[in-house]
Every structure is written in structure tokens, then in C-alpha cells.
Amino acid sequence: MELLVFIALLLVLVGILAYHRASLTLFTAAIGGLLVLGSFFGTVGLVGWILFAAVALPLNIASIRQQHITKPLLKLYRKIMPEMSTTEKEAIDAGTTWWEGDLFRGNPDWHKLHNFPKPRLSAEEQAFLDGPVETVLRMVDDWHVTHERTDLSPEVYAYLKDQGFFAMIIKKQYGGLEFSAYAQSCVLQKLTSKSMVLSSTVGVPNSLGPGELLQHYGTKEQQDYYLPRLAKGLEVPCFALTSPEAGSDAGAIPDFGVVCKGEWEGKEIVGMRLTWNKRYITLAPIATVLGLAFKLQDPDNLLGDKEDLGITCALIPVSTAGVKIGRRHFPLNVPFQNGPTQGQDVFVPLDYIIGGPAMAGQGWRMLVECLSVGRAITLPSNSTGGIKSVALATGAYARIRRQFKLPIGKMEGVEEIMARIGGYAYMSDASTTMSVGSIDLGEKPSVISAITKYHMTERMRQAIIDAMDVHGGKGICMGPNNYLARGYQGAPVAITVEGANILTRNMIIYGQGAIRCHPYVLAELQAAQLEDERAAVTAFDRALFGHIGFSISNFFRTFWLSLTNSAFSHAPVQDETAKYYKQMNRFSSALALMSDIAMATLGGDLKRRERISARLGDILSMLYITSSILKRYNDEGRQVQDLPLVQWGCEDNLYRAQLALDELFDNFPNRAVGILFKRVVFPFGRSLRRPSDQVEHQVARIMQTPCEARSRLGTHLYLTDEPNNLLGQLEKALTDILAAEPLFDKVMHAANKKLPFYRLNEVAELGLSLGVLSQAEAEKLRVAEVGRLKTINVDDFDPIDMMADKSLLESDAKAAVQAA
């Protein structure tokens, strides 16, 4: 056997073994077998065997390996790994990993994805959506709420409290609704389709706040007292973490409490003297109980020997002497209740700490644990409800509005923008449903919640900007007939809250994902922290060599998948979507490979190289969103009508994943590594393209044509045609216009005319006079004209009505008289 042939065989063997993630023993046995073959043909001599023994023996004999390889490497590792702050450790420890872990590990099992149960509503949850949710939607007029009253009406608040809207997460034993995360998501989506103020007001008490914290960490007394009161709406909660000095860096809050003795209800007790200045607190102006985060100090060691106890959460009734609350901020013309609160040396008992004095200093862990769930529900659901509403509204408007004698939705330039809205609507629903579904399976998905929060709110912002462009002046002129402008104004609210998006993309998604999802990194970190040296070496050895095998495997897998454009990799289906699964195999493997390369070359510096971290996080996010699209398609019975929406979503996300990888290589701090791995991952350059014009045309068609695919796009929206529901009216107008078009054509044909498609009431009279229309058909044209005018017209106002401060009229008049 020629030496070159032998080397080639060796490489192929190593590649196959690595691709299939073979164990070290199998590796050693297989290479040993090849050496025997080589010796038989005279290619391998004594030198070859000595080399093999020199590598194989220390690797396979644990005692030698641990003493001579692992121990020195552990020493080095301890030196170069940066210290983790307590808040970082607690953030890493909070929550669980789920499907994103499989994507991160480079070899996703698609059958596992398909087998996750599809979230479903119980009969009780469905009845709530059909009953109380629709009733409260009928009670709300968004223009009245956002412009005239700048608040929900007292009747709406009373109804929300009475029907348990603020208690969707509270257990039944306390009188709450105890809805699944999926049901909460559906309720929020439906509320958003009419009023963002309504969905924000309902979303917050069901997200991170006193209810959630009490259920997880409250003492029995606290639970028995507060939870039934919260469930009945006797208490309105808010939660105050953010202060003027600490927004994103919430762990740095300057608000503090000092454990001390003081007088409480006539007796001397050990309590806390609290001082805080908080802002941006949702529901604070109308709250009755204030959840407060502060740093607790115990200078006199009244609780123990620790002086700085750390972040602590307490529940303070707002009636407590010294609590200042009630003023409002004005968040972007979407005036849900939000405002500041202050307190100076407010003395309260230690029992006010959530979970009692034993939980002093545990506040940060409590918050990040609850946030990993809440962040996946409220903002993604509100955003998804918003995008879906915008998709249906834009589809209807683009079909009804004509310019250059054509519906604007038939123009290619408009189709491009509409396709993005439609694609986002399908994928947002898919991702949100899959994420809330994971919560119902018992997960606390901290990485997924960050991905879903960031990407759904970003897509919502883009969708509403796109919708404004398609609507032109109709979107810009505000008034009771404008269904877009409040969403456009309010989009940055969702971007900013619960982890502002720049921070979420650059620090949280990958920062948490890399450690939590990686099969070995956390184990290495934990092993290095063990105090028993023998246990540390054994644990580090297991993690380290597992890690090395994992990295070698990812290298060969990535190279092979890239070289073959994933043509031979596994997909669970054989239809048009198979190629997307295959491409994801490739990108998943490349992500696993480049994660290890980034960690190995940058070490602790990766945390500061935010843009590298952001791009790796983008790849993970795109894989997560793409798999949610494919799961949705599968869960809904692979409806071929939906295929353009699936194609658009998969192609857009995979294209973005490719871009993120390419930019990662081009900006990799170690240039040689960047250039080398670009060749491994893109041996023939970038192969994926954005969705084609044809696919975009098909998506735009779905959005403008009532059909099953369009109805699926609008599930869980409030589309009833009634006086103050603009979305419902628009849907009706679309159906009426489509019914009128053949009648219009019939009249034009009979009259031998080519009139523009307006004044349909006059066309109706012409049709009747020519005898080509029945009375019923003429009526259809008249009805369509009413809907058409309602759709294209905008509001106008008496200039005096537009003035917020009418007293200016008087002073202006006086000034005019004086001037005269």
C-alpha cells in the first residue's frame, strides 16, 4: 500500500468517525485496525506504531492522562478564565435549555423537534377567548383610550379585574385562572389586535411581578393573603427594579434597605428602612402593592454575620407611610399606566420580604428565574399579535387601495414590502407558539426567551414601518380611523423593556446560550471551581476530553456538510422543505465549530467582543426561528397553501444566518483564524439567496386574498365587523370589494366603458338602468363603495379640537387685541 493512499485512508477514517461522533475507544480501535492493515501491506513500520502508541496510550489510560495532561491544563484554565460576578452566575444558573441546546450542539434531531407536542387550548381557555376577551374588546375604543382619556375607562378596569385578566398565571387554589402559557399568549395576541394599551395592561401583572414571585418564593402567609386578593383584583401590583442610575445594568441599583430596629404598630421590631427612587414602573400610578427591588444591608448584624446581603425583593403596600407613587410617564402616545415611585427611610417589617427574611439577598436569582419565563410570553405575544394584525390590515388595504388603475398590492415594489410583513407574521406566530409551548412542557427557557423577545419585537418594529410605507398618508394621518399609527409610535416600548434589545442581542442571547447550551463548557467551569482537587481533575478530564472530541467532530462535520452543500445530510421529510432542514444541519454544525473556535481564541475576552457574540447569537436565533417555522408547518398538517410563507421565512432566516457567519469571519479578531475557517465553512463562497421575487409575489397574493392560508395567518385576532373595530371593518371591506369587482366588470362590459374603480354606487345605478344587475347585486356595489371610502379616507379635525391646551385660545385672543 502506498504511503499516500494510507494517509488518505487514515484521513477518511478519522473524518467518518468524527462525523458520527465516535468514542475515543472506537477511534483508537479503528485506527489500530488500519495500522494492522498498513503493516500487512508493508506501508506501516515500527515508527508508525511507536507514534500511535505515544498518542493512544496516554489518551486511553485515565491515570496517565489525568496526571500528565489534564492537571496542567486545569491549572492553565484556572489562570485564564475570568471571574464571574454573582449576578452573572445567577443568570447562568437560572432557567433551562431546550431545543436551542440541540441546535447549538451541531447535530439537531429533527424527529425530536416534530415530536414536541403542539400547544392546544383547553375548553375553558377557548371559552375565555370567545367570551370575556371579546367582551372587553367590544368595550374598548382605541382612539378614546389613547387620545381622549389617555387611559382605559373605569368600566374596563373593573371588568378586567372581575374576570381574572390580571390572574391568568395565578393558581386556581387561590382563585386565579391558572392558564397555560399558550393560552396567555393567545389572549394577549387577541387584545393587541385592537389595543396595545389593553394588552400591555393585562400583560404586565401576568409577567414578571408580585404574582409570579409570590407563587414561586412567597411564604405561605404571603401567598394566602396576597394571591386571592390579586386574583380578585382587590390588589393591583407593579414591580419596581429600574432606577434613573440603573437601567440595563439593573444589578447596580443604588436603592437600599438597612436592617434596623424601629416602631411598627406600636411595638419595637426588627425591620428595614428603605430608600428608593424608581422610574418607568408599569402600573405604578394605579398600583396598590409595590414590588420593590433594593440592596439590603445589615450593618448591625441583626440577621447574621453578613453585612451586605444583596438584592432583595419585598412587597410594600402603597398605603405605607412615606411611599410616593401616582405620577405618570407618557410612553409614546400608548398611554398605559407607567410612572415613578420614591421612598425615603420608609420603615417596614422584615416579613415584607418576598419569602420572608430567609430570602434576603436572593432577589436577583428570583428575578432572573421568573424573567426567563415571562420574557417568552408577554412581549413576543404582543408583538406577534401586532405583526399578524398589520399583515392582515396591509393585505386588505393594498387590495382595496388603487393607484394607476391597479390595486397597489399588485405592484412589484409593494409586493416586496408586503412579503416581508407576511413572512414575519407567519414566523412570529411559529416562534412564539413554540417558545410558550416549551414553558407548558415545564421548561424555564432563558435563552429562548431572549431570542424570542429580541427577534419578535424587532420584526414587529420592521413590520409596522413597512406597513406605514404601504399605507402612505393613510398611515400618517392620525384619528379614530387610523389603525397603524399607535403601533408605529409604540414600537420602541417593546424594544426597550425587559432587557433593551441592543443589550439582549449583544450580551444575553449568546452570552447565556454559549454556556448553558454547550455540552461541556459549563461542566468545565464547574469542575474548575471544585475544592476537592482529585474530584476537580476527574470532572475536568471528562469535560475537557469530551469537549476536544466534540470540536474535532464539528470540524469534520462542518467541512463535509459545506463541501457537499449538505446534499447528503438528513432531513425528516422529502418535500420542498427538505433543503431547509439540510441547510440547518450545516449551519448548526458551523455554529458549534465557531463557538469553540471563538471561545478558544478569545477566552474570557469574548464577553467584551460583543459584536462577535452578537453574530454567533444571530446564527443560533436564525436556526431557532427557522426550526419553529418548519415545526409549525408540520404541526398544521403541511398545508401546501402555506408553502410560500414557509419558504419566505426559511430562506430569509437562513440567508441571515449565512450573512452573520460571513461577517463573523470577516471581523474575527484573529485574522488568520477568520480566513482559514471561512474556507472551511464557505469553500465555494456564499450559496444561499434571499427569497425570490416569485415567492414574494405568492406571499403578497395570500395576504390580499381571503383563503385558508390567510385565515391561518390571522388566527387569534379580533376580526369582528363592528363599529369601533377597524381591523374587523377592513376585513369586511376586503370581502365586499372582491365581491363587487366582477359586478363592476359586468357593468363596464355592458356599457362598453372603462371607468375607474370608484363611485361604485353610481356604477350600481348604471348597471340597474342597463338591466345587467339585480337589486341585490347593485346593493353589493353600494356596500363595497361605503367600505372602500371608509378604508381610504382619513380623519380631519377642527383646529380648536386639536389643541391640547384650550386656554391658549384665550391668551392668543388677548395678545391679538393688545397688538391691535
Ligand X SMILES: Cc1cc2nc3c(=O)[nH]c(=O)nc-3n(C[C@H](O)[C@H](O)[C@H](O)COP(=O)(O)OP(=O)(O)OC[C@H]3O[C@@H](n4cnc5c(N)ncnc54)[C@H](O)[C@@H]3O)c2cc1C
Given 134, 440, 610, 741, the residue binding ligand X (CB under 6 A): 610
Binding residues for ligand X, total number by CB under 6 A? 21
Question: Cβ closer to ligand X: 242 or 381?
Answer: 242
Q: Which of residues 332-361 bind ligand X (CB under 6 A)?
A: 338
Stretch that binds ligand X, among 6-14, 468-476, 501-509, 731-739 (CB under 6 A): 501-509
CB half-sphere exposure, 556, CA atoms < 13 A: 17
Separation CA 510–CA 502 (nearest Å): 13
Strands 324-325 and 256-264: unpaired
Stretch that binds ligand X, among 29-37, 220-228, 241-249, 774-782 (CB under 6 A): 241-249
- Is the CB of residue 10 less than 8 Å from the CB of residue 55? no
Question: Cβ closer to ligand X: 243 or 389?
Answer: 243
Q: Binding of ligand X at residue 242 (CB under 6 A)?
A: yes
Which positions ≥6 away from 320 have C-beta within 8 Å? 346, 348
Separation CA 641–CA 634 (nearest Å): 13
Long-range pairs of 252-257 with CB within 8 A, sequence gap ≥ 24:
253/293, 253/294, 253/295, 253/311, 254/295, 255/292, 255/293, 255/294, 255/295, 256/294, 256/295, 256/296, 256/297, 257/294, 257/295, 257/296, 257/297, 257/312, 257/314
Q: Binding of ligand X at residue 311 (CB under 6 A)?
A: no
Q: Binding of ligand X at residue 507 (CB under 6 A)?
A: yes
Least separation in angstroms between CB 497 and ligand X? 4
Stretch that binds ligand X, among 138-146, 406-414, 490-498, 631-639 (CB under 6 A): 490-498
Q: Binding of ligand X at residue 240 (CB under 6 A)?
A: yes
DSSP per-residue string spanning 65-100: HIIIIIHHHHHHHHHHSPPPPHHHHHHHHSSB--HH
Stretch that binds ligand X, among 93-101, 234-242, 458-466, 467-475 (CB under 6 A): 234-242
Cα end-to-end distance, the chain, whole Å:
111
From the list 498, 524, 696, 785, the catalytic residue is 498
498 is catalytic: yes
Question: Cβ closer to ligand X: 44 or 281?
Answer: 281
Q: At CA 204, angle to CA 379 and CA 337, rounded to 5?
A: 110
Burial bucket for residue 765 (CB in 10 Å: 0-12, 13-18, 19+) = middle
Q: Which of residues 116-155 bind ligand X (CB under 6 A)?
A: none
DSSP per-residue string spanning 634-655: HHTT--GGGHHHHHHHHHHHHH
Which one-letter amino acid corresponds to residue 35?
Answer: L
Question: Cβ closer to ligand X: 238 or 537?
Answer: 238
Q: Binding of ligand X at residue 239 (CB under 6 A)?
A: yes
Least separation in angstroms between CB 444 and ligand X? 20
The helix-helix angle for 485-496 and 363-400 (nearest 10°) equals: 160
Given 248, 320, 705, 735, the residue binding ligand X (CB under 6 A): 248
Report which residue's Cβ sits closest to ligand X: 247
Q: Binding of ligand X at residue 219 (CB under 6 A)?
A: no
Least separation in angstroms between CB 150 and ligand X? 14
Question: Cβ closer to ligand X: 96 or 496?
Answer: 496
Least separation in angstroms between CB 450 and ligand X? 12
Question: Cβ closer to ligand X: 74 or 491?
Answer: 491
Which positions ≥6 away from 189 have C-beta within 8 Å? 381, 382, 384, 385, 388, 716, 717
Separation CA 289–CA 239 (nearest Å): 9
Least separation in angstroms between CB 401 and ligand X? 33
Q: Which of residues 276-295 bind ligand X (CB under 6 A)?
A: 280-282
Question: Cβ closer to ligand X: 108 or 310?
Answer: 310
Q: Which of residues 737-796 bind ligand X (CB under 6 A)?
A: none
Given 84, 500, 673, 738, the residue binding ligand X (CB under 6 A): 500
Question: Cβ closer to ligand X: 230 or 507?
Answer: 507
Given 502, 688, 750, 768, the residue binding ligand X (CB under 6 A): 502
Kindly list the distances between the CA atom of residue 779 and the CA atoms of 688, 730, 748, 760, in Å, as whole numbers in the listed order. 51, 18, 17, 10
Q: Binding of ligand X at residue 624 (CB under 6 A)?
A: no
Which one-letter amino acid corresponds to residue 556?
Answer: F
Binding mask 90-119 for ligand X (x = CB under 6 A): ------------------------------
Least separation in angstroms between CB 493 and ligand X? 5
Kindly list the distances between the CA atom of residue 556 and the CA atoms of 116, 319, 530, 550, 628, in Å, as whole numbers in the listed order. 30, 65, 33, 10, 27
Given 10, 121, 503, 530, the residue binding ligand X (CB under 6 A): 503
Which one-letter amino acid corresponds to residue 191?
Answer: L
Residues in the chain, overall count: 820
Binding site for ligand X (CB under 6 A): 239-242, 247-248, 280-282, 331, 338, 493, 496-498, 500, 502-503, 506-507, 610
Active site residues: 498
